[in-house]
Amino acid sequence: MAGAFMIAVTGGSGSGKTTLARALRARLGEAHCQLVTEDNYYFGRDHYGPQALTMSHAELERTFDFDNPVNKDMEHLRRDIVALRNGETIEQPIYNFPTHDRLAGEMKQIESRAVVIIEGIHVLSDPTFAKLFDLTVFVDAPSDLRLIRRIRRDEAERGRSAESVIQQYLRFVRPAQARFIDPARYICDIVVTCEAAPPDRDAPSDADSVDRLVAPVWEQLRKLGIAPAA
């Protein structure tokens, strides 16, 4: 296939970037659009040495700053972005958050599509990544909503307690937002704000708030001839 149209969706933890990325894929169609999640590029426990192999969740989260991009294999991600842009299929690692480790010996085959979305907090922490994309989007949200969304997500999906999420937020997440994530807003093509209140547990996202989030990005995709005009 010809080269893919590449979209970067970034923003802080709990900002709504995953909601935006999934909504764009759904509207473009999965046969036309591929979505890649940056979080799968976290290093496995063995990257940190033998002591990390037996650490508990709490010990890992107190010891390592998972909101610092040094804890992801960003060069592997860069190679995969280039490959997808060129229309190639990649072998992506699979990261398991409940165990804080990669699934040993397992890779996910991801085919390129006409449109490829790369979503994650660090996609543009290194400004040189920006040249790999045709459209860059920063998703913003008030800090209180981002924290609430993170607590609800990590309790439901990653087996963490609210207190552990709050401690991690204060120690690592909040300073990382200012140092590694917020600067990307100034180089992005579009900045959107997701101010919808976090839904209760498993409740679906409010459709109107998702429409408002998607609208400015969809309009730009229309202008570029990527999304249908009507």
| C-alpha–C-alpha distance, residues 62 and 57, integer Å | 9
230 located within any domain: no
Q: Whose CA is closest to 213, among 124, 145, 152, 131?
A: 145
Instruction: Identify the CATH number of the domain in which residue 203 sits.
Output: 3.40.50.300
The number of folded domains in the chain is 1
Can you give the pLDDT at residue 184? 95
216 located within any domain: yes
187 located within any domain: yes
229 located within any domain: no
Mean pLDDT by 10 residues, the chain (230 residues): 89 88 95 97 94 88 89 97 97 91 94 97 96 96 80 75 81 88 95 71 67 94 89
- Domain boundaries, position 42: 5-223
